[in-house]
């Protein structure tokens, strides 16, 4: 008995020290949750070039970038629930004058049923129209909606810098519809950069039997993609478990030759080559409609600053 007491006395101080160190580490990890310490709007009230409202949602008349409007889309309320706090768990500032870009901070507040972080929000620049009939959509949008069999090329050029940490990806999303009045049936995400891309290589969409389907590799002018399909049926299941409304199939294109350690990225490609690839793989029809182009940062948690240096596109129509 005395030996047990002596043993406990001998190591008690060490146990207390270890426990103290653990508490310090735990509190540091919690601080790394990217929670905003002061109201985002008040902190940036004098920042005239940015819209820092929590529901940033405005038309955008800076035609140099061909952007029609911007908005912040909290699309996965189910996963966030009552953990969302205005100006505390999310802060987004989208540039509205003197250039284009945004910066944001988002807390780790959205989880799936297995308590793994899930994506829940994204700032967006919209070129053309949204597939969701947003009230910012205009009837006088140039080039869109586009019936894809009328175009021979969609030349897309994008030069930007992105610095951040946490879990997110920056992408160009194409939505496909069967007609003007219907909702989209397919989402195609061309992912360019972000920490989440590295994670997907480790837990690849295409390597999960029964959930995903690998399509062949897509090679473009200066970028190659590993292409994975998530079916409508799988998305409907994830709508129940992870949140969000996903009444469409999803194709994810992961870059295989973009250095994710870079901060500057240049995308120069013909998006019709992406569409022809989808047609060849029986995912879209040449009679489908492309309502517009979306530039997004899909966010799990973390922070990022995005600066767009150049963004333009040109649609070349077929000659009858």
Helices within 142-211 (DSSP H only): 195-202
How many whole angstroms separate alpha carbon 125 and alpha carbon 33? 26
Q: 127 near 144, Cβ under 8 Å? A: yes
Q: Give the pLDDT score at 310.
A: 93
Helices within 32-141 (DSSP H only): 40-43, 77-80
Q: Give the pLDDT score at 61.
A: 55
Structure tokens given for 29: 């990890």
Residue ranges per structural domain of the chain: 1-31, 56-85+98-317
57 CB contacts (<8 Å, ≥6 apart)?
69, 70, 71, 72, 136
Quick count: other Cβ atoms within 10 Å of Cβ 130?
20
DSSP state of 217: P
Domain 56-85+98-317, what architecture?
Answer: Sandwich (2.60)
Q: Is 36 helix (H, G, I), strand (E, B) or coil?
A: coil
Strand residue runs (E) in 197-276: 212-214, 218-219, 224-230, 249-255, 264-270
Q: 94 near 70, Cβ under 8 Å? A: yes
Helices within the chain (DSSP H only): 2-31, 40-43, 77-80, 195-202, 232-241, 271-280
For the chain, what is the total number of helices (H) and then of strands (E)?
Answer: 6, 16
Whole-model pTM above 0.85? no
Q: Give the pLDDT score at 222.
A: 85
19 CB contacts (<8 Å, ≥6 apart)?
none
Q: Give the pLDDT score at 143.
A: 92
Q: 295 near 174, Cβ under 8 Å? A: no
Per-residue pLDDT of the chain in tens (320 residues, 90 and over written 9): 555 455 445 555 554 544 444 333 333 333 356 776 555 555 555 556 777 776 656 765 555 678 888 888 888 887 787 777 766 788 888 887 667 899 998 988 888 777 888 888 999 999 999 888 777 777 778 899 999 999 999 999 999 999 999 999 999 999 999 998 889 999 999 999 999 887 765 555 566 656 678 888 999 988 999 998 887 666 666 665 555 566 888 999 999 999 999 999 999 999 999 999 999 999 999 999 999 999 999 999 999 999 999 999 999 999 87
How many whole angstroms separate alpha carbon 93 and alpha carbon 306? 10
Q: What backbone torsions phi and psi does residue 270 show, to the nearest 5 degrees?
A: -105, 110
Residue 167's nearest CA partner among 45, 291, 33, 59 is: 33
Q: 65 near 51, Cβ under 8 Å? A: no
Q: Give the pLDDT score at 204.
A: 56
How many whole angstroms separate alpha carbon 75 and alpha carbon 242? 12
Q: Own/partner pairs for 239-244, CB < 8 Å, 24+ apart? A: 241/112, 241/113, 242/76, 242/78, 242/79, 242/112, 242/113, 242/118, 243/76, 243/77, 243/78, 243/79, 243/80, 243/110, 243/112, 243/118, 243/120, 244/75, 244/76, 244/78, 244/79, 244/120
Q: Give the pLDDT score at 133.
A: 75
């Amino acid at each position: 008995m005395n030996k047990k007491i002596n043993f406990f006395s001998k190591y008690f101080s060490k146990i207390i020290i270890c426990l103290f160190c653990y508490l310090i580490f735990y509190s540091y990890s919690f601080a790394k949750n990217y929670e905003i310490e002061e109201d985002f709007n008040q902190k940036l009230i004098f920042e005239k070039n940015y819209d820092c409202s929590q529901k940033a949602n405005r038309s955008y008349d800076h035609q140099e970038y061909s952007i029609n409007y911007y908005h912040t889309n909290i699309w996965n309320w189910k996963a966030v629930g009552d953990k969302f706090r205005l100006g505390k768990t999310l802060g987004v500032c989208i540039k509205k004058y003197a250039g284009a870009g945004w910066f944001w901070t988002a807390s780790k507040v959205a989880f799936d049923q297995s308590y793994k972080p899930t994506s829940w929000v994204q700032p967006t620049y919209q070129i053309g129209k949204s597939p969701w009939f947003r009230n910012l959509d205009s009837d006088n949008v140039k080039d869109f909606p586009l019936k894809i069999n009328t175009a021979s090329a969609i030349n897309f050029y994008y030069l930007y810098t992105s610095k951040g940490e946490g879990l997110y990806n920056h992408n160009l999303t194409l939505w496909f519809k069967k007609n003007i009045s219907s909702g989209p049936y397919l989402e195609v995400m061309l992912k360019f950069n972000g920490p989440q891309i590295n994670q997907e290589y480790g837990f690849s969409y295409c390597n999960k039997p029964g959930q995903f389907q690998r399509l062949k590799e897509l090679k473009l002018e200066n970028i190659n993609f590993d292409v994975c399909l998530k079916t409508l049926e799988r998305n409907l299941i994830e709508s129940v478990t992870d949140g969000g409304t996903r009444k469409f199939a999803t194709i994810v294109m992961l870059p295989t030759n973009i250095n994710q350690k870079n901060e500057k990225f240049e995308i120069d490609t013909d998006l019709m080559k992406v569409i022809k690839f989808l047609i060849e793989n029986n995912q879209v029809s040449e009679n489908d409609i492309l309502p517009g182009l979306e530039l997004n940062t899909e966010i799990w948690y973390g922070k990022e600053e995005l600066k767009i240096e150049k963004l333009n596109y040109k649609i070349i129509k077929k000659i009858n």
